[in-house]
């Protein structure tokens, strides 16, 4: 089996020798820094343990500066890891494998590539590999469908397996607030992460070289979940659903300071996400004031802000003072007239307001490009995972899920469409001269009722996105690797992954 993403340069034509007791022994540089986490993931995914044993090493690790250029984009990692090379080289040497790396992160990547190929023994691998992009992530909506800490750990494992390095947690929204904030005991939903769980998730992700980027989405999307907090004022717009927070109103700014402060305390990420999308009820001056206040709070915490693309309208983001996140793809633009035809009359004012704001989104790329703001690309086409697959499953039992899951407003899309896409060739990005900071898929969970539902939407699309973010490879090699990973995903708990006829019948 070949690792996924498929490494940039890879060959393997033999097995050097058996591996006793399905155990890979490692010695040399950086091994003590990452073997435990690599072994945990490898044992779960491949049934292969990895241990420190310099005296009988199957893998000897040599520390050497790789001398290559850094990956493109913005480095998501905290200061103590920023700039570390993820590159690795593997080659047979005197009956074992020699791995050359310049960091523990590079070794972690290399060990999992070896483990994926070690189905019949120690593989005679020759690999030279490095990522093309620094930021390779997944945004996960844990609000509309609650993911326990154990389920989040499964997703961290999946990201680490596929050499992705960011988990963006969408922690707040209209439906619920998913983490505890000191001083606001009635805020968090019944199902939420307490301080100890957040810290434990941070440790787990760090061991697997994944950065958790947390999000509080303001000024829209959260008011319903904070209504009832006596100290925080919630404003209402032209329709009761169009409520919002105003940083100038009593209690709001102290509340935002407490919320972002708690996230900064629990997570080492140099980035905190302030949301900024779909604030349909907020007047323009309130929107600008609140986004700017949130960005200021984040900077005062020693972090940098990220906002969804609408946040560029606040003027709070500059070339070196934050990141934008582009999400509205051209074919997914809001159709107000279509929505009004489907909705009761009392919702029409809300739809009209939403339509007027979405109309402004056409201008966002030009504003982002003109400001020189680095941009995480999460274009809904093809990077939103809550899309129905266009093709059928080879398993007839999955057809009900294919009809039920995903945003019904998005046109169904072939699972492999991302293999024909690169952000720099996307028209709005190219025309506006946007500086691509990274790639991030997104799973929104309006239709998700179980972890199996999430697995169906996540895979195999997420693995294909990981490939494009790491570095494109030959299509046939990628699809072969996807087919080979079905059992791996099942062992990691993603048993309901979509059996795409586009892939499994090819």
The H or E element that residue 105 is part of is helix 104-117
Residue 358 has pLDDT above 80, yes or no: no
pLDDT in tens, 14-57: 899 999 899 999 999 999 999 999 999 999 999 999 999 999 99
Any domain includes 4: no
Same domain, 184 and 102: no
Same domain, 86 and 191: no
Residue 338 has pLDDT above 80, yes or no: no
Same domain, 52 and 146: no
Of 435, 433, 453, 434, nearest in space to 443 by CA: 453
Same domain, 332 and 469: yes
Same domain, 240 and 111: no
CATH number of the domain residue 53 falls in: 3.30.379.10
Residue 367 has pLDDT above 80, yes or no: yes
pLDDT of 213 reads 98
CA pair distance 204, 164, nearest whole angstrom: 15
Higher-pLDDT residue of 352 and 371 is 371
Per-residue HEC secondary structure of 421-465 comes to CCHHHCHHHHHHCCCEEEEEEEECCCCCCCHHHHHHHHCCHHHHH
Same domain, 214 and 242: yes
Any domain includes 74: yes
Q: Are strands 122-129 and 9-17 parallel, antiparallel or unpaired?
A: antiparallel
Determine if the pTM surpasses 0.75: yes
Any domain includes 111: yes
Any domain includes 408: yes
Any domain includes 373: yes
CATH number of the domain residue 229 falls in: 3.20.20.80
Residue 230 has pLDDT above 90, yes or no: no
pLDDT in tens, 250-283: 999 999 999 999 999 999 999 999 999 999 889 9
CA pair distance 387, 408, nearest whole angstrom: 8
Same domain, 106 and 204: no
| Least trusted range by pLDDT, from 46-50, 243-247, 359-363 | 359-363
Same domain, 41 and 146: no
Higher-pLDDT residue of 66 and 323 is 323
Task: Single out the residue in 99, 129, 159 at which a domain terminates.
Answer: 129
Residue 344 has pLDDT above 90, yes or no: no
Same domain, 206 and 57: no
Number of folded domains in the chain?
A: 2
Side-chain-facing half-sphere of 64: CA atoms under 13 Å: 12
pLDDT of 196 reads 98
Using CB atoms within 10 Å of the CB of residue 403, give its burial: 0 to 12 exposed, 13 to 18 middle, 19+ buried: exposed
pLDDT of 497 reads 98
Task: Single out the residue in 106, 129, 152 at which a domain terminates.
Answer: 129
Same domain, 101 and 229: no
pLDDT of 340 reads 80
Question: Which CA distances in Å does 461 have to 169, 247, 342, 420, 475?
Answer: 19, 39, 30, 13, 14
Same domain, 73 and 196: no
Any domain includes 1: no
Same domain, 218 and 274: yes
| Least trusted range by pLDDT, from 138-147, 224-233, 283-292, 312-321 | 224-233
Q: Cα 444 from chain centroid?
A: 12
pLDDT of 348 reads 80
Task: Single out the residue in 102, 129, 156 at which a domain terminates.
Answer: 129
Any domain includes 442: yes
Residue 506 has pLDDT above 70, yes or no: no
Residue 286 has pLDDT above 80, yes or no: yes
pLDDT of 330 reads 85
Structure token pair of residue 354? 């939403």
**Mean predicted lDDT score pLDDT of the chain:** 95
Indicate if the alpha-carbon torsion angle 277, 310, 463, 85 is positive or negative.
Answer: negative
| Least trusted range by pLDDT, from 82-86, 141-145, 357-361 | 357-361
Q: 265 lies in which domain range?
A: 136-504
Question: What mean pLDDT do residues 430-446 have?
Answer: 97
Any domain includes 3: no
- pLDDT-derived band at 218 (thresholds 50, 70, 90) equals very high
């Amino acid at each position: 089996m070949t690792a996924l993403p498929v490494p940039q340069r890879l060959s393997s034509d033999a097995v050097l020798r058996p591996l006793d007791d399905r155990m890979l022994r490692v010695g040399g540089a950086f091994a003590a820094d990452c073997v435990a986490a690599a072994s945990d993931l490898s044992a779960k995914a491949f049934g292969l343990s990895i241990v420190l044993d310099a005296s009988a090493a199957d893998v000897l690790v040599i520390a050497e500066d790789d001398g290559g250029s850094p990956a493109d984009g913005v480095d998501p990692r905290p200061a103590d890891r920023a700039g570390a090379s993820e590159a690795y080289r593997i080659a047979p040497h005197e009956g074992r494998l020699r791995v050359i790396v310049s960091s523990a992160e590079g070794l972690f990547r290399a060990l999992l590539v070896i483990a994926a190929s070690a189905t019949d023994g120690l593989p005679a691998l020759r690999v030279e590999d490095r990522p093309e992009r620094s930021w390779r992530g997944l945004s996960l909506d844990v609000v509309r469908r609650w993911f326990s800490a154990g389920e989040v750990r499964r997703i961290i494992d999946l990201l680490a397996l596929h050499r992705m390095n960011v988990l963006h947690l969408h922690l707040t929204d209209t439906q619920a607030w998913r983490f505890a904030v000191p001083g606001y005991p009635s805020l968090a939903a019944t199902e939420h992460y307490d301080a100890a769980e957040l810290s434990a998730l941070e440790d787990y992700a760090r061991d697997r070289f994944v950065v958790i980027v947390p999000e509080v989405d303001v000024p829209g999307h959260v008011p319903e979940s904070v209504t009832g907090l006596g100290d925080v004022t919630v404003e209402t717009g032209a329709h009761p659903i169009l409520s919002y927070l105003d940083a100038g109103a009593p209690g709001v700014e102290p509340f935002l300071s407490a919320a972002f402060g708690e996230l900064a305390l629990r997570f080492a990420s140099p980035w905190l996400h302030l949301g900024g999308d779909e604030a349909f009820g907020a007047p323009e001056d309130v929107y600008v004031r609140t986004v700017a206040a949130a960005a200021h709070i984040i900077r005062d915490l020693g972090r940098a802000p990220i906002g969804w693309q609408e946040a560029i309208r606040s003027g709070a983001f500059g070339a070196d003072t934050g990141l934008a996140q582009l999400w509205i793809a051209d074919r997914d633009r809001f159709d107000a007239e279509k929505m009004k035809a489907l909705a009761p009359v009392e919702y029409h004012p809300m739809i009209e307001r939403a339509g007027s704001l979405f109309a402004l989104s056409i201008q966002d790329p030009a504003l982002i490009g003109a400001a020189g703001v680095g941009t995480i690309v999460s274009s809904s086409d093809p990077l939103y995972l809550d899309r129905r697959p266009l093709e059928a499953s080879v398993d007839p039992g999955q057809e009900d899920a294919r009809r039920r899951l995903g945003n019904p407003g998005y046109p169904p899309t072939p699972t492999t469409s991302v293999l024909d896409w690169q952000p720099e060739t996307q028209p709005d990005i190219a025309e506006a001269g946007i500086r691509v900071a990274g790639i991030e898929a997104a799973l929104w969970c309006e239709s998700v009722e179980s972890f199996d539902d999430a697995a169906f939407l996540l895979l195999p699309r997420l693995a294909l996105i990981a490939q494009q973010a790491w570095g494109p490879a030959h299509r046939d090699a990628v699809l072969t690797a996807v087919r080979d990973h079905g059992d791996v995903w099942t062992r990691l708990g993603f048993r309901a992954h979509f059996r795409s006829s586009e892939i499994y019948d090819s």
